[in-house]
Structure 1
């Protein structure tokens, strides 16, 4: 699998593996750690060397899972984890960008992942209650100390990106990007290209919808039940997007999911899709999308698809308040 160079010190496979669904969010009754470990091992065999997680997934259990699964492959892979969100009651999250918290969070991630250095450490959300220079400065110190190789950030505005990049270089920005979530093409993507920063595209298959396998509104325990794109009305309206992808896929003997990932790869040489899965079948299908070359007509047809009904705002993952109470 070809590599994407995010920085001088970080080259990763053309696609990565989003590990969140293995421990967090989607259909908790279907979680299977043994199968997830097999998925991770198969990803390594396929040449995937970027594995994305966060301490809040679980919380903590996703990092522990990766630590066990990648114990024999530490020198072959890059683990990208995140900090700055804390699980709260009712499935909600709170932000914490305090330097002392981030340092403790880093130590916890190193321990759970069973590594001495984190390949990419990402601020999950900016905490408005803490001066951003304090938060980002503390993360930069972790790089200086050798505990982290590269810094990333998720769900930041262009102004915030510009500010932190002037303090300590950003290696990668993470945002949702897919055929049905394109708003970052207008601002975040151009900023990343201009500044030589990588873009990790999470949910490139639309949180499963763009695979064509989601037939009904997810159950209440599934995080997608809170996504307005998965309401019954929106699912019916968004079928037009899926139908268009199927038309393009038929030209190539591919699947809608593969077309979705291939489209994401066309958005820039610095863009790395990180589709999430906990099934080897879907992992192998996703990995094969790297070989799919979309033609100009395919791209025009995809660009002409209707916008998603119920598209989420850029920061609508039930993050509340600022930092947790003392």
Structure 2
């Protein structure tokens, strides 16, 4: 069977549902994480915060609730489409590798390969949305805002930098595909061993606690291994500072901040992405199971 025969819209819908739900709930932490990540101590107009709570209260005081939700629209579009496409591509590739039988157990390396391929395909489509989200999140000076929303940012970035402006940070994003690959590999391996231990089919629905636990552990491992690329990517997308590419960004970060510079915003990121992943995966697993079960019942009747 061809790869296209394994594409199921249920995974797209379920992935979008999970991504949008977690993004709306936790977006303020994403704003704070990005501002921490781009602060290299050299650009004076970049706000400086003394911890997560100070950042939250300062933004709320100076910019209001709106400041905590800057970049929400492209973030919702980006997260929804990214998770939807990722789950769509990943499940199609994985099922193709299983030759259509979702209960066939695959080795960890195969899960890693499937997740990497899905990540690259998703990144090509969604990178422009992440550029816009980053720039909107970094509009900390309310008197000199460059963009009036997502569409305005898309138009102005194109006028200024052309199509290549939409793909700033793309190269570290490619390296970042390893993040999703590691996460999905760990998640799938835990599900596999759990199903094997309890002697149940690999495709069987698990409980809420299992999904939440596996999602949290897989995300913690993936973040710990791959976080530096997110800092480099955010800095390349920052409209307030210019680097001559990925290597220049890495060299300058190391020169002025040392290894700690590559982990700025990590604490905020962990506080945000861990519950976000738990919400996303739990929503995805339940919505996809519901849709696929409904589809099967319709085919039977």
- TM-score range (shorter-chain normalised) is under 0.3
Rg larger for: 2
TM-score by length of 1: 0.23
Whichever structure has more strand as a proportion of its residues is: 1
Greater percentage in helix: 2
**TM-score, normalized by length of structure 2?**
0.25
